[in-house]
């Protein structure tokens, strides 16, 4: 369902004045602002009206996600009727395509893919007939800033600046949106997104290589599997010390439930050891688990079991189980207390996983072809256009 002119359906309760848009010709003596008679998008009055209507209709707003409203013993027809009674709506039937994402049903669940988006990207940059590649980055390949080349390498790098900066930015922007359905390209795209203002030719070549990589399976998507019981499983792993420019850790977290949630960012501080980096990563992951547990506690009829948190560092797991402080760990005491508390309350259960089975490595470092393909096969990716034979 969709609403007709959503932002115009809100009600203004205050006087709102707006700056005149660029190019608007003002007569002599007129002010540079206009009085607004109807609601505009930026005022978000449509959102306030929607929330008010849903609360009056008996729906409960989640405290963990303000855009989520729940109501027990309510079916789709009643929700549809309620929305039609309160707003001007149009019904498009079953959801098939939304924001560049196609929804396809299978016996296992619903598959979300961006095949049309990928094909349009290939056509837009003229790579419909490009040669396919099986890998994104070489394992020892380093992509650096121009400033790093000048001050650290002494200008010995012959890599030239890529002059068409806007073209590079558009390409990376489109690839960033693809990472929703292509988790295997997220590390390379995130890495290349750091060079938006001063890209080099090597950066643009690496971006083109991503396009050639996704060309081999444009229909790849993420499976939202049908499940009878809700269980959250988390994987976390940082890439300690691999960034030559900042030495900050890129930490990656995967959480599986009815869906897959991915969070990836650089840590705010430099870690002194891989164990410290892993431990900070666990603390940040537990924060997300707390949020998800609270969210699902309202929408699930099943009692949530403790989340299994997989980590491939034995030293980190030993600190989590028995946080004995010494010279190497005393500066992370707050994180220790936080993780230990959640372990005692059985919110999470930390468990060791072999490094070769750590699926998060796919999003934190460049891997060899065989390991890359093996870890990708363990994720919920599926291509209904080319089913396995």
Residues 338, 286 contacting (CB under 8 angstroms) = yes
pTM of the model: 0.77
> Per-block average pLDDT, block size 10, for the chain (389 residues)?
75 78 65 73 77 88 86 80 86 86 85 91 90 84 75 67 92 91 87 89 92 90 75 77 48 50 59 73 84 78 77 79 62 69 83 86 83 84 71
Q: What's the pLDDT score for residue 377?
A: 83
Alpha carbon of residue 263 to chain centroid: 6
Judged by phi (left if over 0) then psi (alpha if -120 to 50, else beta), residue 130 lies in beta
Q: Domain segments of the chain: what residues?
A: 2-93, 113-219, 227-353
Superfamily of domain 227-353: Ribonuclease H-like superfamily/Ribonuclease H (3.30.420.10)
Q: What's the pLDDT score for residue 246?
A: 46
Q: What's the pLDDT score for residue 26?
A: 62
Task: Tell me the pairing of strands 307-311 and 233-238.
Answer: parallel
| C-alpha distance from residue 207 to each of 145, 171, 212, 250 (Å) | 15, 8, 9, 20
Q: What is the DSSP letter of 259?
A: S
Q: What's the pLDDT score for residue 247?
A: 43
| C-alpha distance from residue 138 to each of 169, 252, 293, 363, 365 (Å) | 22, 20, 38, 14, 10
- Is residue 236 classed exposed, middle or buried when 0-12, 13-18 and 19+ CB atoms within 10 A define those classes? buried
Q: What's the pLDDT score for residue 333?
A: 61
DSSP notation for 159-188: PPBPS-HHHHHHHHHHHHHHTTT-GGGHHH
Residues 62, 52 contacting (CB under 8 angstroms) = no
Phi/psi of residue 283, nearest 5 degrees: -60, -45
């Amino acid at each position: 369902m969709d609403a007709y002119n959503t932002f115009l359906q809100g009600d203004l309760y205050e006087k709102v004045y707006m700056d005149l848009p660029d190019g608007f010709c003002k007569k002599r003596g007129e002010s540079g602002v206009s009085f607004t008679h109807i609601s505009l998008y930026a005022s978000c009055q449509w959102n306030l009206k929607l929330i008010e209507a849903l609360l009056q209709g008996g729906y409960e707003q989640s405290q963990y996600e303000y855009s989520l409203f729940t109501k027990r013993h309510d079916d789709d027809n009643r929700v549809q009727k309620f929305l039609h009674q309160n707003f001007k709506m149009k019904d498009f039937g079953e959801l098939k395509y939304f924001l560049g994402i196609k929804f396809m049903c299978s016996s296992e669940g619903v598959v979300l893919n961006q095949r049309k988006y990928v094909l349009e990207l290939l056509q837009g940059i003229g790579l419909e007939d490009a040669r396919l590649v099986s890998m994104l980055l070489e394992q020892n390949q380093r992509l650096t800033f121009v400033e790093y080349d000048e001050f650290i390498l002494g200008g010995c790098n012959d890599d030239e600046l890529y002059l068409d900066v806007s073209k590079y930015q558009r390409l990376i922007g489109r690839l960033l949106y693809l990472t929703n359905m292509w988790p295997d390209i997220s590390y390379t795209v995130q890495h290349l997104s750091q060079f938006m203002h001063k890209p080099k030719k090597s950066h643009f070549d690496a971006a083109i290589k991503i396009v050639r990589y996704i060309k081999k399976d444009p229909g790849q998507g993420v499976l939202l599997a049908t499940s009878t019981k809700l269980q959250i499983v988390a994987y976390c792993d940082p890439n300690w010390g691999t960034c030559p420019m900042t030495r900050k850790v890129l930490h990656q977290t995967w959480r599986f439930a009815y869906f897959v949630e991915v969070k990836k960012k650089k840590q705010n501080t430099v870690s002194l050891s891989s164990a410290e980096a892993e431990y900070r990563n666990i603390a940040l992951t537990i924060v997300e688990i707390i949020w998800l547990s609270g969210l699902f506690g309202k929408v699930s009829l099943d009692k949530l079991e403790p989340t299994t948190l997989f980590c491939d560092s034995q030293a980190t797991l030993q600190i989590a189980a028995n946080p004995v402080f010494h010279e190497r760990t005393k500066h992370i005491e707050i994180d220790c207390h936080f993780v230990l508390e959640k372990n005692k309350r059985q919110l999470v259960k930390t468990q060791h996983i072999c490094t070769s089975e750590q699926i998060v490595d796919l999003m934190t470092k460049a891997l060899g072809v065989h390991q890359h393909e093996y870890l990708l096969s363990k994720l919920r990716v599926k291509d209904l256009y080319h089913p396995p034979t």
